[in-house]
Structures are given as structure tokens and as C-alpha cells.
Amino acid sequence: MDGNLGKVVITGVEGRIGPTVRAGLRADADHLVLVDRAPITGVREEETAVETDIAELDTLVKAFDGADAVVHLAGIAEEAPFGELLGANVQGSFNVLEAARRCGVRRVVLFSTNRVTGGYPIHHHVFPDEPPRPDGLYGVSKVAAEALGQMYADTFGLEVVALRAGSFEEEPTETRHLATWLSPRDCVGFVRAALTAPNVSFVAAYAVSGNARRFWDLAVGENELGYKPVDDAARFASRFPDDDPFWHGGPQSGRYAGPEAVLPHLDG
Ligand SMILES: NC(=O)c1ccc[n+]([C@@H]2O[C@H](COP(=O)([O-])OP(=O)(O)OC[C@H]3O[C@@H](n4cnc5c(N)ncnc54)[C@H](O)[C@@H]3O)[C@@H](O)[C@H]2O)c1
């Protein structure tokens, strides 16, 4: 890698993860195209802001003109009514991939989620090529987004990396994060690796810090993307009770799984 990322589009740049990715890529990109439906703040000379909903395919095609890569963050990042998830995460990801294809963009980094396999029990070590086991409708929508990425890679030769992000936080704030924490530093590390790794067709990899208590395998990230995370939530372990019921069994998504998490978003 020569360090130059070229012209990179970041969708969903005004969310929780976006500013960290924006700051982390700035030094090595020629130009950043910032996409969000929310107002985009602090735009610099080497940045272009495009305020749009990702539902607007024609606007995305204009925004992606001449881009080398897209980091796709925009969407709904939690459990929600299925129709909303279909629009934002499935149709939205389709629009991003299709705009990338039309513009000849080389690579798309899709932000997926650990929740695509959040239904596996906590004592199961999950490899990215195991069958999906989404813990709710949000996870289902990201399974579909990953499938769209695989299809665009197989059919059109688009290079696609689906990063199954863990829990992005400055520091762990709950027991589960001892397994699932994704530090800002490792988040940028995974994104940079996803943008620069050679010989990519389609890769799905967990993007989680090197937490001693993690339940996701990191070999794909290390072998295919060339990134080994540097942080470990273990250094915060004393903040959380060892005997937390979370460790006694149940789904990896803990309180984010189960009927209490999904039912509020179902009609009737
Ligand atoms: N935060 C996490 O811990 C986490 C974990 C796993 C996966 N992810 C994934 O990473 C991505 C970013 O997460 P986040 O926490 O920053 O989310 P967020 O909700 O904080 O931000 C999402 C951003 O996307 C924008 N957006 C939403 N829908 C849009 C639309 N239809 N058109 C244009 N812009 C739209 C919002 O305005 C917002 O700025 C999401 O795809 C999420 O599913 C996040």
C-alpha cells in the first residue's frame, strides 16, 4: 500500500462512527466526499459535502463520480420497524452498490454488524462463513445488505468488504462490551485495511478489538485484510461484575436479542 487512498466517499458521516472514519482517512485521501441526510459540518477544502438521503440513487451517482472507494455507514443502526430497515439498510445499500457500479468505483466497504450472528450462544466461537443467525430485524436487514455485496462482487467484479462491526465506543460501557468492544483506533484500522487490502473480491470479516473475551474469529481480518486489532477491553474488566448473568449463557447479543427487543417494532 502506498498510503494514498484516492477519492473516498463516506456515507452516514454525521453519525457516531462517521467522524472517526472521516478523521482517520483524511491524511491519506486526496479528497473525501461526505454524504448524509443530516447537515454536514466543518467541511474543509479537500472535502465535498452532499446532503442527500441514500434513497436518491441519481444523487448518489453524481456524488460517486470519479471516486476510488466508498465507505458505506449510512442506515439504521438498531432495531426498528421492518419497513424502515428495508428502506434504509436494504434499498439504501442496493443504491450505494448500484451507484458504485455505474460510476466504476473499485471498492465498497459496507458497514455490517455483529448482529447478523447475534443469535449464536455466547459460548460459540463464530467464524464469518457460518450461517447467519440474526438476533432481530436489524440483523436480518444487514444479512441482506451483505448478500447484495456478495452479488455485486460475483456478478460485476466490484470489490466489497463487509465489516461486521462490534460495539463502537470510546470505552466499554456495559459487561457485554468486554467481548464486543470496537475501539475507535481499531475501527479506523479495519477501515483502512478494508480499503487497501489486495486481491479482494468479497470479504466478510468481524471488526472487533482484540478482546480476550470476544466470541468472533479474527482470522479473516488478519489473513485477508492484513489487520490485527491492537486494543483489548480486558483492561476495563474491573469496572464490570465477573458474575454478570450475561456470561452464564444466552445469545451473544444479550438484551438486544429476544422478543422484548423485537416486539416493540411489530404492529399488532
Ligand atoms: N455504532 C455501532 O456500534 C455499530 C455496530 C455495528 C454496526 N454499525 C453500523 O455502522 C454504521 C454506522 O453506525 P453509527 O453508529 O454511526 O450509526 P448512526 O445512527 O449514529 O449514524 C447513521 C448516520 O447515517 C445517516 N443516515 C441514516 N439513514 C440515512 C439515509 N437514509 N440517507 C442518508 N443518511 C442516512 C444518519 O443521518 C447518521 O448520520 C451503520 O450502518 C450501523 O449499522 C454500528
- DSSP code at position 216: B
Mean pLDDT over 182-203 rounds to: 98
Q: Ligand 1 test: best mutation among 37, 188, 252, most atoms within 8 Å of CB?
A: 37
Q: Give the confidence band of 267 by pLDDT, cuts at 50, 70, 90.
A: confident
Of 78-92, 165-179, 225-239, 242-256, which range is least confident?
A: 242-256
Residue 160, judged by CB atoms within 10 A of its CB (0-12, 13-18, 19+), counts as buried
Mean pLDDT over 184-200 rounds to: 98
* Residue 3 pLDDT greater than 70, yes or no: no
Query: Measured from the CA of 14, which atom of ligand 1 is nearest?
Result: 39
So which residues are the catalytic ones? Answer: 138
pLDDT at 2: 47
Q: Which CATH class is domain 6-265?
A: alpha beta
Query: What's the gap in Å between 79 CA and the centre of ligand 1?
Result: 12
- Which residues make Cβ contacts (< 8 Å) with residue 257, sequence separation at least 6? 118, 119, 135, 136, 250, 251
Q: Give the confidence band of 1 by pLDDT, cuts at 50, 70, 90.
A: very low
Pocket around ligand 1 at a 6 A CB cut-off: 12, 14-18, 36-38, 53-55, 73-75, 77, 88, 92, 111, 113, 165, 167-168
Give the residue, by CA position, lying nearest to ligand 1 atom 35.
74
- Indicate the SS3 state at residue 254: helix
Give the residue, by CA position, lying nearest to ligand 1 atom 26.
74
Query: Measured from the CA of 38, which atom of ligand 1 is nearest?
Result: 37
Q: Pairing between strand 6-11 and 29-36?
A: parallel
* Residue 51 pLDDT greater than 70, yes or no: yes
Fill in the amino acid letter for 15. Answer: G
The 10s digit of each residue's pLDDT in 18-37 is 999 999 999 999 999 999 99
* Residue 261 pLDDT greater than 60, yes or no: yes
Name the residue ranges covered by the structural domains of the chain: 6-265
* Residue 194 pLDDT greater than 60, yes or no: yes
252 dihedral zone (left: phi>0; alpha: psi -120 to 50; beta): alpha
pLDDT at 34: 98
Query: What's the gap in Å between 241 CA and the centre of ligand 1?
Result: 30
Q: Ligand 1 test: best mutation among 36, 59, 85, 114, most atoms within 8 Å of CB?
A: 36
Q: Report residue 179: phi and psi, to 5°.
A: -95, -35
Q: Ligand 1 test: best mutation among 168, 208, 216, most atoms within 8 Å of CB?
A: 168
Q: Report residue 48: phi and psi, to 5°.
A: -125, 135
* Residue 198 pLDDT greater than 80, yes or no: yes
Query: What's the gap in Å between 104 CA and the centre of ligand 1?
Result: 25
Q: Report residue 208: phi and psi, to 5°.
A: -140, 150
pTM value is: 0.97
Query: What's the gap in Å between 188 CA and the centre of ligand 1?
Result: 16
Query: What's the gap in Å between 126 CA and the centre of ligand 1?
Result: 24
Q: What's the CA gap between 268 and 188, in Å, rounded?
A: 42
